[in-house]
Amino acid sequence: MHIVFANRYYAPDMAATSQIVSDLAAQLAASGYTVEVITSRQRYDDPLAGLPSRETLDGVRVHRIWTSTFGRANLAGRAVDYLSFYLSFFFTCLRTLKRDSVLVCCTDPPLLSIPAALACFLTRARLVNWLQDIYPEVAVALGIASASSPLTRALVWLRNHSLRRAHRNVVLGEVMAAKVQSAAVDPRRVSIIHNWSLTPPGEPAPGGAANPLRRSWGIADSFVIGYSGNLGRAHEIETLLQAAQILRQQHNVRFLVIGGGHYTRTLQSRAADVQLDNIVFQPYQPLEKLALSLAAADVHLVILRPEMEGCIVPSKFYGAAASGRPVIFLGSLDGELARILARADAGISIATGDGPGLAASIGQLREDPDACQRLGSNARRLCTTTYTRENALRQWLSMLEELGR
């Protein structure tokens, strides 16, 4: 079977979607499939740093297409970048796809399923939409687009048509599955396959004072609340700031923010304005240090705006849980992650805006190492028994074999 992945970023880029797509593509290539990828030449953290237009990585043939490089500084430039990707992607699909091909289309850039559906119709290839998020609903929730505007309504219609045309739509959880099915998509064409942790198998990396990153960052003896990955528009920082101000007199409590994103500089500026020295910032860490950087936290924080429920499942959850640390989820108490944490007794859920509640939960975990250990062990068990790379690969292989019949 010939499988073609489509995503704006791919290895060696460190964007979350790049990591998960690169991992699955390499696994399928190792399983004997012919695998290709259509992606951009840019890196998420440095749009001007070009990558080779063609290369083979881990048995996967990579086609890096031309796109404009206005970057993420403003929405107009971002829209032009998206449009240029759609056009280059569409014509590359016409050259790459065959009748026996399966196009696995991701959602970066948003609404990529629309040109993908047209390309598959013209080439008679089969389409699998791998939904990491759902647009334009995300843009509406963020106030970037109006739900009642003619453009948004047209995009929703085209998006829904592309979901119905697909042979399968892969979603990340029950809430997202319900949202996709509400667009009149046949439930038989919706599959729930969770993402997984990209950290190496085996025991988690050392934490506490034994963690070399903690020592180098000057937080070896602190109780560390970690946030790892993109801090973007789908997240919020007010609750974290409230908790940090409440805990500022607790000199052994530190918030560790690793990564970047739309709100990272805002958080840095806001913390500086009120002289908060209990928030430590570090850049994205290379993949080979991912396990160590995740183990640098005693507790992990995962954030999602409540209005994003059903549209996004934060991929950072899987790595956080795999590190063997409790997860504190800030968001909807009836959301996907809140349900998972409650069922597995793997963490605590706090409503968005409840800074005092977040501070109190952090204080309880700091004072009760046994509870911290129990929740962390349960979180780790989730990622060694349920949300594993092996389980995900088995589900993907089963689905692809079914499509090939």
Tokens matching residue 113: 């399923």
| Distance of alpha carbon 306 from alpha carbon 283, whole angstroms | 27
State the pLDDT at residue 164: 98
Which residue type sits at 4?
V
Q: Which residues of 131-165 are buried (b: 16+ CB within 10 A; e: fewer)?
A: bbbbbbbbbbbeeebeeeeeebeebbebbbbbbeb
**Paired tokens of 272:** 């500086």
The CATH number fitting domain 2-196+388-403, selected from 2.130.10.10, 3.40.50.2000, 3.40.50.300, 3.20.20.70: 3.40.50.2000
Residue 74: predicted pLDDT: 80
Longest CA–CA span in the chain (Å) reads 64
Q: Which CATH architecture has domain 208-385?
A: 3-Layer(aba) Sandwich (3.40)
DSSP 64: E
pLDDT of residue 72: 75
Query: Using H for helix, E for strand and C for coil, what is the string for 254-267?
Result: EEEEECCCCCHHHH
DSSP 3-state of 232 = coil
For residues 9 and 108, give the distance between their C-alpha atoms in angstroms, rounded to a whole number.
Answer: 8
Domains 2-196+388-403 and 208-385 belong to one CATH topology: yes
Q: Which of 270, 277, 273 is nearest to 249 (CA)?
A: 277
- Whole-angstrom distance, CA of residue 354 vs CA of residue 243: 8
Per-residue model confidence (pLDDT) at position 287: 84
Cα–chain-centroid distance for residue 127?
21
C-alpha to C-alpha distance for 235 and 267, rounded to whole angstroms: 12
pLDDT value for 316: 94
Q: Would you give per-residue pLDDT tens digits along the chain (405 residues)?
A: 999 999 999 999 988 899 999 999 999 999 999 999 999 999 887 777 789 999 999 999 999 999 998 887 788 888 999 999 999 999 999 999 999 999 999 999 999 999 999 999 999 999 999 999 999 999 999 999 999 999 999 999 999 999 999 999 999 999 999 999 999 999 999 999 999 998 877 788 999 999 999 999 999 999 999 999 999 999 999 999 999 999 999 989 999 999 998 999 999 999 999 999 999 999 999 888 999 999 999 999 999 999 999 999 999 999 999 999 999 999 999 999 999 999 999 999 999 999 999 999 999 999 999 999 999 999 999 999 999 999 999 999 999 999 987
Q: For residue 88, which phi and psi values (nearest 5 degrees)?
A: -60, -40
Tokens linked to 282: 């570090």
Instruction: List, in order, residues 6 or more apart from 385 with CB less than 8 Å away.
Output: none
- Domain range list for the chain: 2-196+388-403, 208-385
| d(C-alpha 289, C-alpha 291), whole Å | 6
Closest of 228, 236, 229, 225 to residue 308, by C-alpha: 236
Give dist(CA 95, CA 37) in Å, integer.
13
Burial of 174 (0-12, 13-18, 19+ CB in 10 A): middle
* Neighbour count for residue 367 (Cβ, 10 Å): 10
pTM of the model: 0.92
State how beta strands 2-6 and 34-40 pair.
parallel
User: Which residue is associated with the tokens 């997202």?
Assistant: 176
- Give the pLDDT of residue 45: 75
Q: What is the 3-state secondary structure (H, E, C) of 7-62?
A: CCCCCCCCCHHHHHHHHHHHHHHHCCCEEEEEEECCECCECCCCCCCEEEECCEEE
Q: Which amino acid is at 316?
A: K
Q: How far is 38 from 97, CA to CA, in rounded Å? A: 11
